[in-house]
Amino acid sequence: MFDILIKNGTVIDGTGSVAKKMDVAVEKGKIVQMSRQITAKALRAINAQDRFVTPGFIDIQNHSDSYLTILDQPDQLSLLSQGISTIIMGNCGASLAPLLSAESIKTIQKWHNLSGINLNWQSMEEFLQYLSQTSIGVNVGTLVGHATLRRGLVGDALRLLDESELKVVNKSLADALEQGAFGMSMGLVYAHEVNSSLAELQQLTHNLKSSNKYLSVHLRSESSHIMEALDEAIGLAVFADIPLKISHLKIRGKNNWNLFDRVMSKLEVAYHQGINISFDVYPYSTSWSVLYTYLPKWAYEGGRDQILKTIADPMSRRKILDFLRDSGPDFDNIIVSEAFGNENFVGKTLKQIGANQSLSAEEAALNVLTATKAQVMVFDHNLSDEQVELFCTSPLSFIATDGGGYSGRTPKLVHPRCFGTMPRFLRMVREKNILKWEAAIKKLTSDPAKLIGLTDRGWLAVNKAADIVVFDPQTITDHADYKNPDSVSSGIDMVLVNGKEAFIDNKAMHLNGQVLRR
């Protein structure tokens, strides 16, 4: 007798193969049989008539660690409710391990307040072991954050690493990769990586080549200098001969949308030259960014304390304001989503905040940074809807949330992508016919699995892990928006994680996620 038998569904196996009417039998966490008709009995039979049966979706660009929700909201309901069964954390240069010193954990403070945080691990092995002893709703893997390593050695110091420090960072990275991390991430736009030397970056990527793992890069620029930023990332991949994934690819600012064809051409040429290159994208035209990254580079070098000192200096402040007025972003319509210690700013535009102070939106931005000690997140409707769709349909793209998992209703104003990314993309597939269903599901499953290095999940086949989604292709829809970002999507009937019902009837059920290592 099987544990679970899914009957009468249309199976899209994740490989891109044509959909087929099939039954799927699950036992002891594995898929044990797939055929046109299975007559054996099961403890739990599920009628999937008029439903698609697919592999669990893989969120390759996840921040449940940066927002600390993997620790304090481990059921990850907002992800399960989208059909996500596996996440990869440690993106954009920040990870929860290894921690070389107390300074290491400060890499996540741009996303989450660290007050009261207490972590009891240092190495990647200890972190993964801790997670293994925790009940979590989804399967979890992680990258190693470059800034986490770097900051653990030099803190907020604005300087290059010396030879002995480079050896420590290299050894720590190599150890973390050996202990199961899937690769390394860089956040080259952020304060503690923005001045890393090319020699440093190149040395670190050698560890990825020897361990056959990938590099994920948050580009140094996603606006006017995006071409140079792509050259830098591609150059690292070529130098070390490693797979490269660009994080949350986008072109920010209407003045820069004309670069789209050049961006796509550069990526496609690199691919045809034999570089293993890909990118992830979320299907929204509003970004969710750290406010200090809008400042000129020289104004945020060295971290939060230096940012505050620079803003407080009258001459520097005038130079920053001149830069902001000429840089292109529409500061009037940027919305504050998180503001440490100043909840009265949340939900307001910078124009509204400035009006209350009889100041411009640009001046309000600097005041908000000062009042929050530079811990501010903002929504910015700065992307082209048409280009977002084209990114989503590219053969080189994965669909990812670039968000965190939450238990349900959240008092924070989070980006709706935390609750709606996968259903929103699949709704686009249905309503706009941008891709065939088989190609769309492949983007969410086997494509990211292959880059990550997963061999036991990402597609439906006998002896593979039973991470399975059953959903209605006619009704799957996202409901989260910028006023109600924690509204759960509809159309997903059930999600299995390692053979157990993890999500059903809009509720998180069995917390059956596993810690994944490579």
What pLDDT digit, counting tens, does each position of 67-87 carry?
999 999 999 999 999 999 999
Three-state SS letters, 193-226 = CCCCCHHHHHHHHHHHHHHCCEEEEECCCCCCCH
Interhelix angle 260-272/385-393, rounded to 10 degrees, is: 10
Question: For the residues 311-331, what does the mean pLDDT come to?
Answer: 94
Position 103 scores a pLDDT of 83
Residue 299 predicted with pLDDT over 70: yes
Residue 303 predicted with pLDDT over 80: no
Q: For 486-516, what is each residue's pLDDT tens digit?
A: 999 999 999 999 999 999 988 999 999 999 9
Position 336 scores a pLDDT of 96
Nearest to 365 by CA among 298, 417, 415, 307: 307
CB 55 within 8 A of CB 445: yes
The DSSP call for residue 301 is T
Residue 321 host element (H or E)? helix 314-326
Residue 147 predicted with pLDDT over 90: yes
| Separation between Cα atoms, residue 452 and residue 90, nearest integer Å | 13
Q: For 198-210, what is each residue's pLDDT tens digit?
A: 999 999 999 999 8
Which structure tokens are listed for 37? 């008709």
Confidence of residue 478 (pLDDT cuts 50, 70, 90): very high
Q: Which residue has the higher pLDDT, 153 or 24?
A: 24
Which structure tokens are listed for 488? 């759960």
Position 304 scores a pLDDT of 82
Domain locations in the chain?
Answer: 57-288+382-456, 290-380
Residue 280 host element (H or E)? strand 277-281
CA 63, 69, 75, 76 torsion-angle sign = negative
Which structure tokens are listed for 510? 């069995």
Residue 297 predicted with pLDDT over 90: no
Its pTM stands at 0.96
Which structure tokens are listed for 320? 């920053």
| DSSP H helices in 163-197 | 163-178
| Separation between Cα atoms, residue 304 and residue 155, nearest integer Å | 11
Q: Provide the residue type at 378 as one letter.
A: V
Nearest to 20 by CA among 56, 44, 54, 47: 54
Position 403 scores a pLDDT of 97
Mark residue 50 as left, alpha or beta (left: phi above 0; alpha: psi -120 to 50; beta: remaining).
Answer: left
- CATH of region 57-288+382-456: 3.20.20.140
Residue-averaged pLDDT of the chain: 95
SS3 379: strand
Which structure tokens are listed for 150? 């770097």
CB 372 within 8 A of CB 412: no
Q: Provide the residue type at 500 as one letter.
A: K
Confidence of residue 48 (pLDDT cuts 50, 70, 90): very high
CB 167 within 8 A of CB 200: no
- β-strand partners of 33: 25
Position 116 scores a pLDDT of 66
- Residue 185, judged by CB atoms within 10 A of its CB (0-12, 13-18, 19+), counts as buried
CB 173 within 8 A of CB 204: yes
SS3 480: coil
* pLDDT above 90 as % of the chain: 87
Q: For 239-253, what is each residue's pLDDT tens digit?
A: 999 999 999 999 999
Position 72 scores a pLDDT of 92
Q: For 344-396, what is each residue's pLDDT tens digit?
A: 999 999 999 999 999 999 999 999 999 999 999 999 999 999 999 999 999 99
| Separation between Cα atoms, residue 85 and residue 89, nearest integer Å | 13
